[in-house]
Chain A
Amino acid sequence: MTDIGTSIPSVTVRGPQAPGNTAALDPVFTVSDLSVFYGEYEAVRQVDLSIGNREITAMIGPSGCGKSTVLRCFNRMNDLIPGARAAGKILYHGEDLYGDHVDPIEVRRRIGMVFQKPNPFPKSIYDNIAYGPRVNGTKGKMDEVVEEALTQAALWDEVKDKLKQNALSLSGGQQQRLCIARAIAVKPEVILMDEPCSALDPIATTKIEDLMQQLARDYTIVIVTHNMQQAARVSNRTAFFTADVDDKGERHGRLVEFDETSRIFTNPTDQRTEDYITGRFG
């Protein structure tokens, strides 16, 4: 971890903007004053954040600071946890994501998610991809949908001869790309990824990172990662979270800094950000 500090100046940052060049953010999500509770416990406190259209936004920070919690608010997956509650506002294209009339099913159809551990369904590769379109009542040529999704996820060539095979027979990296393909198949606008590479080896990780870069042309991507180089390599903007300890000894997640990735990694405003990315903390 300590050698990250020395490598900061040479970090290459993706995206259309050159480092230090502030491009206007075209927001898909606007998060304001978001606090998330698990029962009485306030896991995340007063987060303000915007997610840019067709950008990759990385969320980094020490374990337990609420990155997954915030991520799971974007597609209302936290609704499934008994006692979980979000206060504040998340606007999705200006519409309140937690408004009374909003159907979480519809939200999840537009905002897909890839999990930390690959979780293919115990069905064939084909049925894994076709599942999303089928439950959403998509009519038409399923074969084409499947091929397109697998191609976009850079998996088609590896599996095109064994579409009827059980998805669990794939390697870990292939399974994760299958899960990405599965998410793409319902044609979402946003893809949320919670540490998608943490169970993968470096080669599979590189493949997924390349894939993210390609997908960012058509999709908005939010990724949680513990891998600082990964955040630096793939993201346009980075949000750094940390956990504050209050008087009662409870830890509450907070957003410390949110900026273009190049700035976060070369010239952070907050001392805590700098400590974290240089490996002096966390």
Chain B
Amino acid sequence: MAVLSTPRSAVQLASKGRPVREHLFRIALIASLGIAFVFLAALLSYVLVEGWPRIDSRLWENMPSVRNPDIAGAQSAITGTLWVISLTAVLTLPTGIAAAIYLEEYADKTRWWNRVIELNIQNLAAIPSIVYGILGLGIIARTFGLGFSVITASMTLGLLVLPIVIIASREAIRAVPPSIREGSLALGATQWQTISRQVLPASIPGIATGSILALSRAIGEAAPLLMLGAVSFIRFNPDGVFASYTVLPIQIFNWISQSREGFHVLASAAIVILLLILLLMNSVAIWLRNRYQKRW
């Protein structure tokens, strides 16, 4: 009996139909990834092929125009985008990270107002961006009197991405093990020393990644800026935060709505530029992450 039962149990171990299911699951996962990848590749190759004839120095040396697609460029839109996104970063990152530190390290979660704040930050992240445009127009442009300027655009986009920055930073801060905080405090460090010398350095990779993803969203936004004066053809570069401006997504939108074919080519070329800026930002995120991880 004992001799017979050994091979039987071996057979039972081998077949339960699980390998097939595992396999199907794997295939489904790879297929999902494949779909995302194929669409992205199609999109990229389309704009590259379409825009190729116009990806040359005219694009960044000339100003926008609707008269002649051959001499029109996107210089003011490129500089406008850089101005707006840099100022957005300057305004949003310190605020967002500070808010995340407060919520994670200081806020007493048993107090109702802290819970209300938390809940509303989650909700804010889900509000359509056009609503922020209305807010920016009503309060920042009109009430604050900042008009249709770079700073109005940056403040509006800043509000738009602030919840994302806060949520990403909180995740990163929460990922630092409590034992690190305890170890620091037990040595007589103050809470602020513990945060600034242990918690923040340990969470910088996560904060950087989240922040840059948030800014990547801001850089592609056209809807709120449509309401904030970015629509007109601007033929000069912004010379400060109070200057008029336009940005790449709006410029692209304007050209695509022209009927002449030459402008569509120009739009594709501008999309490539926008994608390059995005790629650059993401590389910075990866570089930051690797740099800080290597040090430890």
Distance between Cα atoms of A276 and B91 in the complex (Å): 62
- Determine how close the nearest CB of chain A comes to the CB of B177; give it in whole angstroms: 8
User: Which of A116-124, A214-222, A230-238, A252-260 is the interface stretch?
Assistant: A116-124
| A110 neighbours in B (Cβ, 8 Å) | 188
- Determine how close the nearest CB of chain A comes to the CB of B202; give it in whole angstroms: 6
Q: Which listed residue (B179, B188, B296) contacts A105, Cβ 8 A?
A: B188
Instruction: Check if A77 sits within 8 Å of B180, measured CB to CB.
Output: no
Counting chain A CB atoms within 10 Å of each CB, which of B109, B183, B188, B193 scores highest? B188
| A80 neighbours in B (Cβ, 8 Å) | 182, 185
With contacts A77-B182, A131-B197 taken as known, whether A123 is within 8 angstroms of B188 at the C-beta atoms is: no
Instruction: Check if B296 sits within 8 Å of A119, measured CB to CB.
Output: no
B86 within 8 A of A: no
Q: Which listed residue (B179, B188, B202, B296) contacts A135, Cβ 8 A?
A: B188
Instruction: Check if A122 sits within 8 Å of B296, measured CB to CB.
Output: yes
Instruction: Check if A186 sits within 8 Å of B179, measured CB to CB.
Output: no
With contacts A82-B110, A119-B179, A135-B193 taken as known, whether A113 is within 8 angstroms of B188 at the C-beta atoms is: no
With contacts A77-B182, A80-B182 taken as known, whether A186 is within 8 angstroms of B108 at the C-beta atoms is: no
Residues 156-193 of chain B: 1 if any A CB is under 8 Å from the residue's CB, otherwise 0? Answer: 00000000000000000000010110111111111001
In residues 101-137 of chain A, which contact B (Cβ within 8 Å)? 105-106, 108-110, 112-113, 115, 117, 119-123, 131-132, 135-136
- Determine how close the nearest CB of chain A comes to the CB of B296; give it in whole angstroms: 4
Instruction: Check if B296 sits within 8 Å of A168, measured CB to CB.
Output: yes
Distance between Cα atoms of A136 and B110 in the complex (Å): 32
Size of chain A's interface in residues, with CB distance under 8 A?
Answer: 28
Distance between Cα atoms of A18 and B197 in the complex (Å): 47
- Determine how close the nearest CB of chain B comes to the CB of A179; give it in whole angstroms: 7
| A117 neighbours in B (Cβ, 8 Å) | 179
| B296 neighbours in A (Cβ, 8 Å) | 122-123, 166, 168
B198 within 8 A of A: yes
Q: Which listed residue (A106, A122, A131) contacts B187, Cβ 8 A?
A: A131
Instruction: Check if A182 sits within 8 Å of B182, measured CB to CB.
Output: no
| A106 neighbours in B (Cβ, 8 Å) | 188
With contacts A122-B202, A131-B197, A135-B193 taken as known, whether A112 is within 8 angstroms of B179 at the C-beta atoms is: no
The chain B residue with its CB closest to the CB of A179 is: B183
Instruction: Check if A135 sits within 8 Å of B189, measured CB to CB.
Output: yes
Distance between Cα atoms of A121 and B185 in the complex (Å): 12
With contacts A123-B296, A135-B197, A166-B296 taken as known, whether A186 is within 8 angstroms of B182 at the C-beta atoms is: no
With contacts A82-B108, A121-B180, A123-B296 taken as known, whether A108 is within 8 angstroms of B202 at the C-beta atoms is: no
With contacts A135-B193, A135-B197, A166-B296 taken as known, whether A119 is within 8 angstroms of B188 at the C-beta atoms is: no
Instruction: Check if B187 sits within 8 Å of A183, measured CB to CB.
Output: yes
A261 within 8 A of B: no
A75 within 8 A of B: yes
Instruction: Check if A121 sits within 8 Å of B184, measured CB to CB.
Output: yes
Distance between Cα atoms of A185 and B71 in the complex (Å): 69
With contacts A115-B179, A122-B296 taken as known, whether A77 is within 8 angstroms of B187 at the C-beta atoms is: no
The chain B residue with its CB closest to the CB of A185 is: B187
Residues 61-102 of chain A: 1 if any B CB is under 8 Å from the residue's CB, otherwise 0? Answer: 000000000000001010010100000000000000000000
Distance between Cα atoms of A108 and B188 in the complex (Å): 5
| B108 neighbours in A (Cβ, 8 Å) | 82
The chain B residue with its CB closest to the CB of A120 is: B183
Instruction: Check if A108 sits within 8 Å of B193, measured CB to CB.
Output: no
Distance between Cα atoms of A130 and B202 in the complex (Å): 18
Instruction: Check if A132 sits within 8 Å of B188, measured CB to CB.
Output: yes
The chain A residue with its CB closest to the CB of B193 is: A135
- Determine how close the nearest CB of chain B comes to the CB of A30; give it in whole angstroms: 22
The chain A residue with its CB closest to the CB of B181 is: A80
Q: Which listed residue (B180, B187, B197, B198) contacts A108, Cβ 8 A?
A: B187
With contacts A122-B202, A131-B197, A168-B296 taken as known, whether A136 is within 8 angstroms of B188 at the C-beta atoms is: yes
- Determine how close the nearest CB of chain B comes to the CB of A56; give it in whole angstroms: 19
Residues 186-213 of chain B: 1 if any A CB is under 8 Å from the residue's CB, otherwise 0? Answer: 1111100100011000100000000000
Distance between Cα atoms of A186 and B109 in the complex (Å): 33
The chain A residue with its CB closest to the CB of B108 is: A82
| A168 neighbours in B (Cβ, 8 Å) | 296
Instruction: Check if A131 sits within 8 Å of B184, measured CB to CB.
Output: yes
- Determine how close the nearest CB of chain A comes to the CB of B36; give it in whole angstroms: 34
| B183 neighbours in A (Cβ, 8 Å) | 115, 119-121, 179, 182
- Determine how close the nearest CB of chain A comes to the CB of B195; give it in whole angstroms: 12
Instruction: Check if A109 sits within 8 Å of B188, measured CB to CB.
Output: yes
* A to B CB contacts below 8 Å, 8 in the list: A80-B185, A82-B108, A106-B188, A115-B182, A115-B183, A119-B179, A119-B182, A135-B184
Q: What residues make up the interface of A, taking CB atoms closer than 8 Å to B?
A: 75, 77, 80, 82, 105-106, 108-110, 112-113, 115, 117, 119-123, 131-132, 135-136, 166, 168, 179, 182-183, 186
Give the 4 A-B residue pairs with the shortest CB-CB distance, closest first. Answer: A109-B188, A132-B187, A119-B179, A113-B186
**In the complex, given contacts A117-B179, A121-B180, what are 11 additional A-B residue pairs having Cβ atoms less than 8 angstroms apart?**
A77-B186, A82-B109, A105-B188, A109-B188, A121-B183, A122-B180, A135-B189, A136-B188, A183-B186, A183-B187, A186-B187
